[in-house]
């Protein structure tokens, strides 16, 4: 079931209703795309002030990890507000360009598998629980759809800006 609020820019990229199937399908698509990127290509930036492909992948992974924490916290009934995060601070501190691309891909794959496993284990009532993160009300379901849409957005960026097919 889709979240009630479909206004979010990432949720708007998700027409599917079956989130878990869509995440699994996206995992296969992302793996196919990442397999086509060589270590040399992973260093590419489409402009001097833009992230490398390595940093972009690290951003996707970090964001999914943060979204995962938010989902599990809210699903378990935690009511304390959670902080937002500045994607540029995280990207600049990630040291992604110093890592092997294959290692970054494996880290992404592990985080995605953990996200899917966690979501599969949620009760129906847990999906509807919510809390505050980054100063806004968010539901577990909405964050899960945002997870899918966030990666979809960045896969589009890889195609359009980085020339990755």
In a domain, 33, yes or no: yes
Residue 8's pLDDT is what?
Answer: 80
With bands split at pLDDT 50, 70 and 90, how would you rate the model's confidence at 118?
very high
Count of structural domains, the chain: 1
pLDDT higher than 90, residue 60: yes
pLDDT higher than 50, residue 76: yes
In a domain, 6, yes or no: no
In a domain, 149, yes or no: yes
Domain holding 116, by residue range, is 11-162
Residue 2's pLDDT is what?
Answer: 59
pLDDT higher than 90, residue 3: no
In a domain, 58, yes or no: yes
Residue 96's pLDDT is what?
Answer: 98
- Cα 18 to Cα 71, 117, 144: the distances in Å are 17, 15, 11
Per-residue buried b or exposed e for 62-87, using 16+ beta carbons within 10 Å of the residue's own CB: bbbbbbbebbbbbbeeeeeebeeeee
**For 132-153, how does the pLDDT look when each residue is reduced to its tens digit (9 = 90+)?**
999 999 999 999 999 999 999 9
Q: What is the mean pLDDT of residues 76-94?
A: 96
- Average pLDDT value over all residues in the chain: 95
In a domain, 145, yes or no: yes
In a domain, 15, yes or no: yes
In a domain, 5, yes or no: no
Residue 5's pLDDT is what?
Answer: 52
In a domain, 1, yes or no: no
CATH code at 24?
1.20.120.450
Asked if 105 and 30 count as a contact pair (C-beta separation under 8 A), the reply is no
pLDDT higher than 50, residue 6: no
With bands split at pLDDT 50, 70 and 90, how would you rate the model's confidence at 42?
very high
- In 10-139, where does DSSP find H-type helix? 19-35, 53-75, 87-92, 101-120, 124-127
Tokens of 140: 């577990």
**For 12-23, how does the pLDDT look when each residue is reduced to its tens digit (9 = 90+)?**
999 999 999 999
- Pick the closest to residue 84 from 155, 44, 132, 140 (CA basis): 132
Q: What is the mean pLDDT of residues 155-165?
A: 96
């Amino acid at each position: 079931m889709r979240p009630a609020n479909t206004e979010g820019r990432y949720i708007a990229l998700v027409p599917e209703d079956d989130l878990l199937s869509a995440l699994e399908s996206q995992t296969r698509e992302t793996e196919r795309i990442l397999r086509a990127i060589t270590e040399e290509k992973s260093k590419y930036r489409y402009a001097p002030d833009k992230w490398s492909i390595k940093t972009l992948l690290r951003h996707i992974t970090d964001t999914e990890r943060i979204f995962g924490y938010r989902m599990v916290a809210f699903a378990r009934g935690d009511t304390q507000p959670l902080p937002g995060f500045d994607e540029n601070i995280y990207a600049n501190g990630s040291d992604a360009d110093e890592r092997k691309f294959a290692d970054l891909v494996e880290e992404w794959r592990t985080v995605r598998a953990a996200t899917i496993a966690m979501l599969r284990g949620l009760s129906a009532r847990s999906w509807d629980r919510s809390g505050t993160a980054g100063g806004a009300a968010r539901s577990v379901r909405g964050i899960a759809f945002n997870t899918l849409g966030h990666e979809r957005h960045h896969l589009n960026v890889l195609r359009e800006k980085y020339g990755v097919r």
